[in-house]
Amino acid sequence: MKRYFIHTFGCQMNVNDSLRMSEALSKMSYVPTPEPENADLIILNTCSIREKAEDKMLSALGRYRAVKASRGAILGVGGCVAQQEKDKLLKKVPYLDFVFGPDNIAKLPEVISRVQDARERVVETAFVDSEEYVFPRADAETSRGKVTEFVTVMKGCDNVCSFCVVPHTRGREVSRAFPEVLLEVADLARVGLREVTLIGQNVNSYQGGISFAQLLLRTAEVPGIERVRFTTSHPHDLSDELIEAFRTQPKIAPHFHLPVQCGSDRILKMMRRDYTVVQYLERLEKLRAARPGIAITTDIIVGFPGETEEEFEMTLQLTEQVRYDNQFSFVYSPRPKTGAALREKDWGPVPHEVKVARLERLQKVQRRISGEYTQAQVGLDVEVMVEGRSRYDATKRFGRTPENRTVNFDGDAPAGSFVTVHIERATPNQLQGKQVAVLKEPTVAPLPVELTVPLHVPAEA
């Protein structure tokens, strides 16, 4: 038996791709190891959304070079940096054995055989045409013992946001046929999963035979599934039908991640986001009317080229006005071949220290608002789906509320149960409390608690 280690960077798509890689490797008699020092094969599944993510992967590659030297491990790079750099990466990193893009995961066994047997250095980064693309089918057994899982509903992106590298690294949008999605969800439910998150770069433009709203409704009807989530949505495709689904189907969890990116119409236009702040707010108002109490989260970029102080303050105002539950905020990072990077000089780059200062101001405001939301939960009884052992304290359990707030609590309910937790304390990022009632038992016999946190595939933003 040979051992493999996958180091995952970036978003949920990458985490999911790493799981598909693990499945492909297990069919080749590879077994996972949590320690890269003991691995015979190391794969870095990379992210190129921001320069920092790329830098992190280069420094990790440097660390794994020693493992290659000491035990002759094979070293490969997959994901978005692989797709972006292709054979240039092999030239740049002479000790690297193979490079493969996100569309080439199914070829992984063949690639590894070529490296092992023919001693070739391999590059596989062709995009597969939409008509020919086959979504790798997840093996539900890999997810046994888990409670929640991601299910891919589409890949790629047809939008042209001027800051974003995704259309270059993930290719054109392809939707997965809805019966395939529902079959995968049903398989997962059969091994005890209670929640699924449907994922894609822009799930609202799903075209797999039914609308995305209908896909959510059909997913919610799969026996055993209690909560349905999804990510990510582009505001300009957020339909009334989807909003209506939140009104009618309580299993669609009351959380909506709706990236706004910034609070200025001029910058939104330069970003090519195709909506105005007023249109965005109108959508949110409808959503909140359809599902009162729904948690709203977002993504924000500060320091986009040409962003003035006043325009940044519009983002602060929007944050106060919407009162996001949480937000992921980033300093603008120019990416190769993107519209904004090509025009950055004309539009006026924002100095790095100004970007960082703006990010800190924004995050301070958001921390206060997030803290106000979580403090308001203290003293309440909330519904929690138990996911397993707390990562901070092995004597406690960990789970999430329907709004996707993290809860660490004293209790004994096994993973897969739904319990009521009385909230006693809160920080901006998590709630703490004690289990006061069991609402629903798991659907399959639970694994011992020490097995309910599956082998961790580390993901770094």
- Asked whether position 164 contacts ligand SF4 by CB under 6 A, the answer is yes
CB of 145: closest distance to ligand SF4 in angstroms? 32
CB burial of residue 156 (10 Å; 0-12, 13-18, 19+): buried
Kindly tell me which of 227 and 335 has the beta carbon lying closer to ligand SAM.
335
Site for ligand SF4 in 234-263 (CB under 6 A): 234
Residue 262 counted as an annotated binding residue: no
Contact segment (CB under 6 A) with ligand SAM among 126-134, 163-171, 359-367, 407-415 equals 163-171
Site for ligand SF4 in 191-210 (CB under 6 A): 201-202
Supply the DSSP string of 172-209, one letter for each residue.
Answer: S-EEPPHHHHHHHHHHHHHTT--EEEEE-TTGGG--SS
Helix (H) or strand (E) holding 4: strand 2-9
Q: What share of the chain is helix, strand, coil (3-state, %, to 5)?
A: 40, 25, 35
- Asked whether position 48 contacts ligand SAM by CB under 6 A, the answer is no
- Asked whether position 12 contacts ligand SF4 by CB under 6 A, the answer is no
- Asked whether position 201 contacts ligand SAM by CB under 6 A, the answer is yes
Contact segment (CB under 6 A) with ligand SAM among 128-136, 183-191, 277-285, 330-338 equals 330-338
Which residues, 6 or more positions from 437, have their beta carbon under 8 angstroms from its beta carbon? Answer: 419, 420
Q: Between the CA of residue 240 and those of 199, 208, 220, 235, what are the distances in Å?
A: 20, 19, 18, 12
Render the burial of 66-85: b for 16+ CB within 10 Å, e for the rest.
ebbeeeebbbbbbbbbbbbb
Residue 164 counted as an annotated binding residue: yes
State which amino acid sits at residue 276.
T
Task: Please answer whether residues 24 and 109 qualify as being in contact, where contact means their C-beta atoms are separated by less than 8 angstroms.
Answer: yes
- Asked whether position 169 contacts ligand SF4 by CB under 6 A, the answer is no
Helix (H, G, I), strand (E, B) or coil at 215: helix
CB of 334: closest distance to ligand SAM in angstroms? 7
Contact segment (CB under 6 A) with ligand SF4 among 14-22, 158-166, 175-183, 305-313 equals 158-166
CB of 260: closest distance to ligand SAM in angstroms? 9
Residue 167 contact partner, candidates ligand SF4, ligand SAM, none, CB within 5 to 8 A by sort of partner = ligand SF4
Backbone angles phi, psi at 381, to 5 degrees: -100, 125
Site for ligand SF4 in 432-451 (CB under 6 A): none
- Asked whether position 161 contacts ligand SF4 by CB under 6 A, the answer is yes
120: Cα within 13 Å, side-chain hemisphere: 11
Do strands 418-426 and 430-440 pair parallel, antiparallel, or not at all (unpaired)? antiparallel
- Asked whether position 335 contacts ligand SAM by CB under 6 A, the answer is yes
Render the burial of 99-122: b for 16+ CB within 10 Å, e for the rest.
bbbbbbbebbeebbebbeeeeeeb
* C-alpha to C-alpha distance for 42 and 249, rounded to whole angstroms: 43
State which amino acid sits at residue 382.
V
CB of 260: closest distance to ligand SF4 in angstroms? 11
Contact segment (CB under 6 A) with ligand SAM among 79-87, 160-168, 277-285, 439-447 equals 160-168
* C-alpha to C-alpha distance for 434 and 416, rounded to whole angstroms: 17
Helix (H) or strand (E) holding 14: helix 12-26
Q: Between the CA of residue 111 and those of 25, 72, 75, 76, 125, what are the distances in Å?
A: 11, 17, 12, 10, 11
Kindly tell me which of 49 and 316 has the beta carbon lying closer to ligand SAM.
49
Letters for 225-264 (x = contact with ligand SAM by CB under 6 A, - = none) are: -------x-x------------------------x-x---
Residue 11 counted as an annotated binding residue: yes
- Asked whether position 157 contacts ligand SF4 by CB under 6 A, the answer is yes
- Asked whether position 301 contacts ligand SF4 by CB under 6 A, the answer is no
Q: Per the annotation, where are the binding residues?
A: 11, 47, 80, 157, 161, 164
Residues that bind ligand SF4 (CB under 6 A): 157, 159, 161, 164, 166-167, 201-202, 234
Q: What residues form the annotated binding site for [4Fe-4S] cluster?
A: 11, 47, 80, 157, 161, 164
Q: Which residues bind ligand SAM (CB under 6 A)?
A: 11, 49-50, 163-164, 166, 201-202, 232, 234, 259, 261, 299, 301, 330, 332-333, 335
